Amino acid sequence: MTTLYLAVPCYNEQEVLPDTTKKLLAKMRSLIDCGKISPDSRIMYIDDGSKDSTWSIISELHEKYPLVAGLKLSRNRGHQNALYGGLMGAKRHADAVISIDADLQDDINAIDLMLEKFESGCDIVYGVRSKRDSDSLFKRATAEGFYKFLKFMGAEVVFNHADYRLMSKRAIDELEHFGEVNLFLRGIVPMLGFRTDSVEYERAERLAGKSKYPLKKMLSLAWEGVTSLSIKPIRFITVLGAAVFLVSIIMLIYSLISHFLGNTTLGWTSLIVSIWAIGGLQLLAIGIIGEYLGKIYLETKHRPRFIVDKFLK
């Protein structure tokens, strides 16, 4: 029987924890009762260095309910790192781990279907939002723009999938081989391969408390996503440099013609040509250096070159 762990990162979530626990406990108990998951399954809260009473609530819940487990990080490291810590902590005990936010905006009834897909052989099951009715217009526009921006900048992500997903123990084991420190799980998990599927659900409002992802954090997540997955911004410089250099050749022809037609001031031709040519060459040179820098950057991540799915002996 599958041992399922729910990895729930929490940062200053004292308002939502009691309610969340009630709902998650009911879900876990019903899954255990109908024999879908083993009684060793757990709801694992990861306290991401909260400043309120989050950790003491988690400890109390753990005393009261054997199904609740807790992991406390030494300080606030951000959602992605907390999640990663949770996955690594949970995989030692679990066959499958589902990551879900503490505010239960993601429909926990999708867990059943995720489990079914896991049982039928999927290693990764993405939770994908079907609608965003509950989000404000601003949040919806910025969030959807976020996915489009990432795609444009060369980072492949699953559209409208946040970090609500099921991963098998084997997939998390492979994730551990990705040596990067700048974590953007949504971009790395698709690189793992394996059999994947997705489950649609409707996103609800936050149970209580405030969003811990204000615009500033969202922008920094987007930038982290781009710079940790793609070196396309560097390529823009190279292309720009080449373009400016091309313009300089056109300018050379244009100013030579003007020069010989005699309607220029002395010195203008050489000046204007040098400005364009030197500017273009400099940009191009920066771009080329950048290309190598990008290569070095990607190399230092020590990502695995391949991941074995099956081996027939």
Which residues of this chain interact with ligand UDP, rule CB under 6 A? 9-11, 13, 48, 76, 78-79, 82, 101-103, 105, 211-213
Residue number, 101 or 174, with CB nearest to Mg ion: 101
310 to 166, 170, 218, 283, 313: CA distances (angstroms): 20, 12, 38, 47, 10
Nearest to 59 by CA among 48, 73, 49, 69: 69
DSSP code string of 239-274: HHHHHHHHHHHHHHHHHHHHHHHT-S-TTHHHHHHH
Part of the chain binding Mg ion (CB under 5 A), chosen from 54-62, 101-109, 163-171, 254-262: 101-109
Residue number, 218 or 298, with CB nearest to ligand UDP: 218
Nearest to 108 by CA among 221, 203, 247, 182: 203
CB of residue 186 vs ligand UDP: minimum separation in angstroms?
A: 12
Query: How big is the site for Mg ion, counted in residues (CB under 5 A)?
Result: 3
CB of residue 133 vs ligand UDP: minimum separation in angstroms?
A: 15
DSSP 159: T
Residue number, 216 or 305, with CB nearest to ligand UDP: 216
**47 touches, from Mg ion, ligand UDP, none (C-beta below 5 to 8 Å by class):** none
CB of residue 52 vs Mg ion: minimum separation in angstroms?
A: 17
Residue number, 95 or 135, with CB nearest to Mg ion: 135
CB of residue 218 vs ligand UDP: minimum separation in angstroms?
A: 7
Is 242 buried (19+), middle (13-18) or exposed (0-12) by CB count in 10 A? Answer: middle
Q: Does 135 bind Mg ion (CB under 5 A)?
A: no
Sequence-distant (≥ 6) Cβ neighbours of residue 242 within 8 angstroms: 280, 284, 287
- The Cα 31–Cα 201 span in angstroms is 19
Q: Which of 105, 196, 227, 269 binds Mg ion (CB under 5 A)?
A: 105
Q: Does 103 bind Mg ion (CB under 5 A)?
A: yes
Evaluate whether 147 touches 194 at the Cβ level (below 8 Å).
no
CB of residue 79 vs ligand UDP: minimum separation in angstroms?
A: 4
Evaluate whether 199 touches 112 at the Cβ level (below 8 Å).
no
In the chain, count H helices and then E strands: 10, 7
Part of the chain binding Mg ion (CB under 5 A), chosen from 42-50, 102-110, 222-230, 284-292: 102-110
Residue number, 13 or 174, with CB nearest to ligand UDP: 13
CB of residue 229 vs Mg ion: minimum separation in angstroms?
A: 23
**129 touches, from ligand UDP, Mg ion, none (C-beta below 5 to 8 Å by class):** none
Residue number, 117 or 165, with CB nearest to Mg ion: 165
- The Cα 170–Cα 167 span in angstroms is 8
Coil/strand/helix, residue 132: coil
Q: Does 163 bind Mg ion (CB under 5 A)?
A: no
CB of residue 158 vs ligand UDP: minimum separation in angstroms?
A: 16
- The Cα 271–Cα 251 span in angstroms is 11
Q: Does 106 bind Mg ion (CB under 5 A)?
A: no
**212 touches, from ligand UDP, Mg ion, none (C-beta below 5 to 8 Å by class):** ligand UDP
Residue with tokens 């969030």: 143
- The Cα 54–Cα 213 span in angstroms is 18
Q: Does 160 bind Mg ion (CB under 5 A)?
A: no
**Contacts with Mg ion, residue ranges (CB under 5 A):** 101, 103, 105
